[in-house]
Structure 1
Amino acid sequence: MADERRGLLTTREREIISGDADVNDEYYYSVVSRVRRKIDNLAQDAALLQEHHPELGEELREAVSGDDSEEDDE
């Protein structure tokens, strides 16, 4: 079950943002606005993790930035 959990976007939001779903402009911009709010919340979560669980904060930073420099060193 845990593997099925989503990240930032729902499956439907992914379809809409990628252009795979046929929706009107009003709904599209509503979804964009919703995703912006999620990004704001993510920033708050990242700050909380960095303060209270730095290891998880670092994992989040690496996942978002695509920083896999540790793998490059091997």
Structure 2
Amino acid sequence: MARTRALLTERDRELLAEEDGGNRRYQAISEIRSRITEEMETDIEILRENHPQLLKELREIVCEDKSG
């Protein structure tokens, strides 16, 4: 089965991993930021209205403390 992306594309992941990715890296960061601030907000609202359990699962993953 083909993998789908969550927030980052495979190329986003590659660019973020590069220490000196230049302009392409900064462009990817800008696009990711837009997805977080614009698209994610819409998706969360849709989940809240239509499938609260999926929203709960998303929150558990995103808000999980992995520091310890």
TM range (shorter): 0.7 to 0.9
Q: Give the length in aligned residue pairs.
A: 64
So what's the TM-score if we normalise by structure 1? 0.71
Q: Aligned with 1:27: secondary structure?
A: helix
8 A Cα contact 2:47 2:54, kept in partner: yes
Select the structure with the greater relative contact order (CA < 8 A; seq sep ≥ 6): 2
Using the aligned pairs only, state the percent identity: 41
Instruction: Tell me which residue corresponds to 1:14.
Output: 13
- Is 2:34 aligned against 1:37? yes
Gaps of 5+ in 1: 68-74
* Displacement over 3 Å in runs of 4+: none
RMSD (CA atoms): 1.8
So what's the TM-score if we normalise by structure 2? 0.76
